[in-house]
């Protein structure tokens, strides 16, 4: 498993934040084990916070609200993830961001944490000319697909244990969209799933990572607003 550690500019409130960027696929169960260990270490004050960017081999994951009726054709392994949400797909071409952050020092507001992730992803997508938004009552990041209908381009699912976060978000850069047909993604069947590639945006992992990192200060500032009880959602 190859990992790169980019040189980053100082980020407000992020002096203890480690960044990891994987260049090889990371098996989901391996990532889950590493997340759980890092979560415990951060909570114990034995490790720094971590932002981890990676891709997985094809896999379906089940959140705490997963309904087996939404598992239509399990053509890949199905793993219980422990995060919130329902079924989702991970695979090559989908960039995943896992966050192990200490909300004890960044504001104990899970709703603001999720809202801040959404804003971070939406802002980063705008850097590639993709207009995206939140949708009331629908989890995820949404945009306009090639047929003019709304479609999901990013997913969010988090878990908080001892006020330290796990899991995070994913964005479809160029995955095999047919793989989503094995599930009803996040329990929403009336809307499709799209990708930056389908929208005519060819974005590499490196390009996405660098844009996301450049937007990280805004994300961390939003968490600071939560700490100061000034979060706006």
Residue 116 DSSP SS3: helix
Cα separation, 168 vs 155, whole angstroms = 9
Residue 181 DSSP SS3: helix
Half-sphere exposure of 123 (CA within 13 A, CB side): 16
Decide if 186 is catalytic.
yes
Single out the catalytic residue among 54, 100, 171, 186.
Answer: 186
Cα separation, 128 vs 207, whole angstroms = 10
DSSP 8-state secondary structure symbol assigned to residue 8: -
Cα separation, 70 vs 98, whole angstroms = 24
| CB distance 164 to 101 below 8 Å | yes
| CB distance 79 to 61 below 8 Å | yes
C-alpha dihedral, 161 to 76 to 171 to 97, nearest 10°: 30
Cα separation, 78 vs 58, whole angstroms = 10
Residue 42: CB atoms within 10 Å: 23
Catalytic (active-site) positions: 186
């Amino acid at each position: 498993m190859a990992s790169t550690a980019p040189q980053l500019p100082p980020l407000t409130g992020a002096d203890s934040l480690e960044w990891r960027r994987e260049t090889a696929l990371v098996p989901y169960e391996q990532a889950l084990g590493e997340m759980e260990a890092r979560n415990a270490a951060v909570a114990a004050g034995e490790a720094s916070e971590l932002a981890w960017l990676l891709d997985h081999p094809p896999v379906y994951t089940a959140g705490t609200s997963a309904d087996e009726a939404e598992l239509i054709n399990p053509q890949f392994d199905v793993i219980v993830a422990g995060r919130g949400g329902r079924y989702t797909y991970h695979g090559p071409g989908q960039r995943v961001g896992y966050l192990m952050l200490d909300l004890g020092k960044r504001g104990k507001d899970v709703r603001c944490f999720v809202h801040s992730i959404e804003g971070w992803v939406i802002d980063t997508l705008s850097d590639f000319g993709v207009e995206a938004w939140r949708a009331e009552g629908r989890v995820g990041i949404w945009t306009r697909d090639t047929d003019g209908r709304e479609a999901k381009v990013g997913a969010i699912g988090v878990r908080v244990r001892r006020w330290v976060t796990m899991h995070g978000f994913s964005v479809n850069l160029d995955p095999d969209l047919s793989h989503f047909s094995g599930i009803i993604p996040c329990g929403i069947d009336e809307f499709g799933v799209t990708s930056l590639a389908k929208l005519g945006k060819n974005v590499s992992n490196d390009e996405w990572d660098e844009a996301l990192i450049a937007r990280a200060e805004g994300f961390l500032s939003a968490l600071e607003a939560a700490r100061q009880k000034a979060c706006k959602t």
